[in-house]
Amino acid sequence: MSMTIDIRVPVGLPVKETAKFIGLCETVGFNGVGVHDHQHSGRDVFVTLALAAEQTEHLKLYPVTSNPITRHPAVLASLAHTLEEIAPERVLLTIGPGFLSVGNIGHPKATLHDMRHAFNTIKGLLRGETMPMGTTQSSMRNTSSIPTPVYMTAAGPEMIKLAGEVADGVMLRVGLHPNAIAAARKLLQDGAKRSGRELQDFPTIFIVDMSIDSDGTMSRRWPQRWMSPTLPWLHYPSKANFRWFRESGIDLPRDISPDQITDDIAERISDVFGLFGTPQQCAESLIKARDEAGTEHIFVFPVHSIEGGYDMPIPEIAAFRDIIFPRLAS
Per-residue pLDDT of the chain (330 residues; tens, 9 = 90+): 789 999 999 999 999 999 999 999 999 999 999 999 999 899 999 999 999 999 999 999 999 999 999 999 999 999 999 999 999 999 999 999 998 899 889 999 999 999 999 999 999 999 999 999 999 999 999 999 999 999 999 999 999 999 999 999 999 999 999 999 999 999 999 999 999 999 988 999 999 999 999 888 899 999 999 888 888 989 988 889 999 999 999 999 999 999 999 999 999 999 999 999 999 999 999 999 999 999 999 999 998 877 767 899 999 999 999 999 999 999
pTM: 0.96
b/e burial code for range 234-254 (CB count within 10 A of at least 16 → b): bbbbeebbbbbbebbebebee
Q: What ranges do the domains of the chain cover?
A: 4-329
The fraction of the chain above a pLDDT of 70, given in percent, is 99
CATH architecture type of domain 4-329: Alpha-Beta Barrel (3.20)
Judge contact between 204 and 297, C-beta under 8 A.
yes
Q: What pLDDT is recorded for position 159?
A: 97
Q: What pLDDT is recorded for position 236?
A: 86
Averaged confidence pLDDT in the chain: 95
DSSP class per residue in 275-306? EEESHHHHHHHHHHHHHHH---EEEEEE---S
b/e burial code for range 16-53 (CB count within 10 A of at least 16 → b): eebbebbbbbbeeebbbbbbbbbeebebbbbebbbbbb
Q: What pLDDT is recorded for position 109?
A: 95
Residue 330, Cβ density class (10 Å: 0-12 exposed, 13-18 middle, ≥19 buried): exposed
